Amino acid sequence: MHGMMMTQPLSIIEILRYAAGAHPGGEIVSVRTEGDIHRETYAEAFGRAAQLAHGLEGLGVGEGDRVATLAWNGYRHFELYYGVSGMGAVCHTINPRLSAEQMLYIIRHADDRVLCFDVTFTPLIEGLAEHLPEDLVLVAMTDRAHMPDSKLELLCYEELLEGQPDTYDWPELDEEAAAALCYTSGTTGNPKGALYSHRSTVLHAFSVAVALSKSLKEGGRVLPVVPLFHVNAWGLPYAAPLTGASLIMPGPKLDGPSLFELMDGEKVTSAWGVPTVWLGLRAEIDARGRNPEGFGHVVVGGSAAPRSMIEGFEKSGVDVCHAWGMTEMSPVGTHGLLSEPMRELPFDAQIDLKSKQGRRLFGVELKIVDEGGQPLPHDGRAAGELFVRGNGVISGYFNNAEASAAAFDDEGWFGTGDVASIDDKGFLVIQDRTKDLIKSGGEWISSIDLENIVIAHPKVASCAVIAVPHPKWDERPLLVVVPEGGEKPTLPEVHEMLLEHVARWQLPDDMVFVEELPLTATGKVSKLTLRDRFGDHALPDVG
Ligand code: AMP
């Protein structure tokens, strides 16, 4: 027997329509590439999304067409998220940190019709120009006065909107219709596309809003440092308007001093981003001896948040939420906010919990399996490959049968490529990527565990642990360190620190120094590059 309730298809534009009416005070504050700070309300953004949809329609964009963006976090990018999906087209966010070759690949693979870009990327577009599809329409996201001086044929974003009606007859779409597209920058092979639907996006936004209600609420002022050009800025462009929280968009400048200034001036209550960004902000906080005014909550994810970073924030009164997820999951899978009873635990016990990757969001199921694919218990000890299932998880890669076939187990769960344990309270601990684990004499060593400890050493600015082939043990850990200041740590010093937490056989056999760690396009340490560089490093004979 069916329930007797109305059915209204879930639709992205309805989030903004709701925010415009129910949260008129919510605003989007943006550091513009033009150099100033711009403000608009959700109601104004809704009107401009309508103008954009008219403008794109005029360019011939129709349902299902891909409209690409190459842009920082700002209000125009936000308008594209809604205007494009709202009219039934697909908003394809491109990560500007990808290589030119990868960018060209995905523009062709996605079959983009229009590419909207921030003017700071003009040289990048000019570099790609001769290889771009001839009929690709290029739109510079600025006004006439700031149009770049370029030989390319460029349309002006503000002119596209100018004079258009600020209402649009938004079509009622199938809720399963494609709404947005984001490519993962895999370490091998070509990038693969995650094609989100209206339904998956709205449900994910609800789950994020509920789980992160501490920062996502009316009056909240949230800073997404996590980019709109990758993983939908962890769903914030959807979850924030849903709750009435304002968005403070940082534009291109993401260094510690710039972020501090913006946060202080705009009274940011909650900031979201990857650990590397928070290293810069923490240094600025330490230099000034205070937090930005009003700052009380940070969400960190994308790679493992070091315990020392979590401790630093918490000691200065900033509540840390350690989250985990991936492009293929819309992207948030777990969140690390503690329950009230957990907040009564001693400080160290709270930091122990916050160092884990947290509990699942509603709508995300987690399972860990052994090498034979058998489920492992959630006892905090058993570790295996992590599989996920849920409304926000991809069911295949866009136009890529080969990658799709390899991504799921027999029961249809998606294989994350992460190795994890889950404890009896539901807290996930990511041990490593399967390919980054170090297999020594048949036992596994977690590179993340070692890095987390070594990063707290005062002479270490950042570090990574990689596997180096070994004739006897198969693989052994090598520690790669960027020293802090002039003084380098010694290996015995590092070993002494590690021995407080790990077994002697897990200690890195050797240490090498580099000026900086190579990063992937998504800001994670590129272990692949490090393995290429140090793969034949001669380890000392440690038996
Ligand atoms: P991406 O699709 O670029 O977001 O990358 C997803 C991958 O980043 C995951 O599969 C993890 O390996 C890693 N990752 C994301 N968040 C965390 C976290 N909090 N701790 C450890 N690894 C993480």
Please report whether residue 326 resides in a domain: no
More confident residue, 491 or 435: 491
**Domain count along the chain:** 3
Which of 384, 400, 433 represents a domain boundary (last residue)?
433
408 has pLDDT over 60: yes
pLDDT of residue 6: 96
pLDDT of residue 296: 97
Q: What proportion of the chain, given as a percentage, has pLDDT over 90?
A: 87
pLDDT of residue 386: 97
Which of 197, 221, 253 represents a domain boundary (last residue)?
197
Please report whether residue 541 resides in a domain: no
Active site residue 184: yes
Same-domain status, 404 and 452: no
pLDDT of residue 186: 62
User: What does the pLDDT look like over 80-127, one tens digit per residue?
Assistant: 999 999 999 999 999 998 889 899 999 999 999 999 999 999 999 999
Distances (CA, A) of 261 to 255, 257, 290, 441: 10, 6, 12, 50
439 has pLDDT over 90: no
User: What does the pLDDT look like over 516-534, one tens digit per residue?
Assistant: 999 988 888 999 899 999 9
pLDDT of residue 387: 98
More confident residue, 245 or 536: 245
The CA-CA-CA angle for residues 35, 244, 201, to 5°, reads: 90
Please report whether residue 488 resides in a domain: yes
543 has pLDDT over 90: no
Query: Please, are residues 226 and 302 in contact by the beta-carbon 8 Å criterion?
Result: yes
Atom of ligand 1 nearest to the CA of 417: 10
Q: What proportion of the chain, given as a percentage, has pLDDT over 70?
A: 99
User: What does the pLDDT look like over 319-332, one tens digit per residue?
Assistant: 999 999 999 999 99
Q: Per-residue confidence at 486, pLDDT binned at 50, 70, 90?
A: confident
231 lines ligand 1 (CB under 6 A): yes
CA distance 323 to 214: 14
Sequence-distant (≥ 6) Cβ neighbours of residue 341 within 8 angstroms: none
pLDDT of residue 329: 98
Same-domain status, 88 and 178: yes
Same-domain status, 49 and 189: yes
Please report whether residue 339 resides in a domain: no
Per-residue pLDDT averaged across 161-167, rounded? 98
CA distance 178 to 200: 9
Residue 392: give its domain's CATH number. Answer: 2.30.38.10
243 has pLDDT over 90: yes
Q: Whose CA is nearest to atom 17 of ligand 1?
A: 303
pLDDT of residue 400: 96
User: What does the pLDDT look like over 47-64, one tens digit per residue?
Assistant: 999 999 999 999 999 999
Which residue, among 310, 336, 292, 308, has the nearest Cα to 451 in the 3D structure? 308
Can you spell out the DSSP letters for 474-536? EEEEEEEEEESTTPPPPHHHHHHHHHTTS-GGGS-SEEEE-SS--B-TTSSB-HHHHHHHHTT
- What amino acid is encoded at 120 in this protein? T
CA distance 433 to 430: 8
Query: What phi and psi, each to the nearest 5 degrees, are found at residue 307?
Result: -55, -40
Full-model pTM: 0.92
pLDDT of residue 433: 86
Per-residue pLDDT averaged across 488-512, rounded? 93
Same-domain status, 144 and 14: yes
Same-domain status, 69 and 184: yes
Q: Per-residue confidence at 394, pLDDT binned at 50, 70, 90?
A: very high
Instruction: From 303, 361, 455, give the residue whose CB has the most ligand 1 atoms within 8 Å, as the site to mutate.
Output: 303
Instruction: From 187, 276, 337, 418, give the residue whose CB has the most ligand 1 atoms within 8 Å, as the site to mutate.
Output: 418
Active site residue 520: no
pLDDT of residue 211: 96
Same-domain status, 401 and 445: no
Mean of the per-residue pLDDT values of the chain = 95
Please report whether residue 2 resides in a domain: no
Same-domain status, 429 and 443: no
Same-domain status, 382 and 504: no
Active site residue 444: yes
Same-domain status, 423 and 473: no
* Domain enclosing residue 400, as ranges: 365-433
Please report whether residue 528 resides in a domain: yes
Please report whether residue 164 resides in a domain: yes
Per-residue pLDDT averaged across 232-261, rounded? 97
Same-domain status, 504 and 369: no
Same-domain status, 470 and 493: yes
Tokens encoding 392? 């926000």
541 has pLDDT over 80: no
pLDDT of residue 192: 95
How far, in Å, is the centroid of ligand 1 from the Cα of 334?
11
Which of 174, 197, 220 represents a domain boundary (last residue)?
197
Q: Which residue has the tokens 């909240």?
A: 220
189 has pLDDT over 70: yes
pLDDT of residue 111: 98
User: What does the pLDDT look like over 247-303, one tens digit per residue?
Assistant: 999 999 999 999 999 999 999 999 999 998 998 999 999 999 999 999 999 999 998
pLDDT of residue 24: 84
CA distance 358 to 420: 12
Catalytic residue among 175, 311, 328, 451: 328
Please report whether residue 331 resides in a domain: no
Same-domain status, 56 and 122: yes
37 has pLDDT over 60: yes
Residue 109: give its domain's CATH number. Answer: 3.40.50.12780
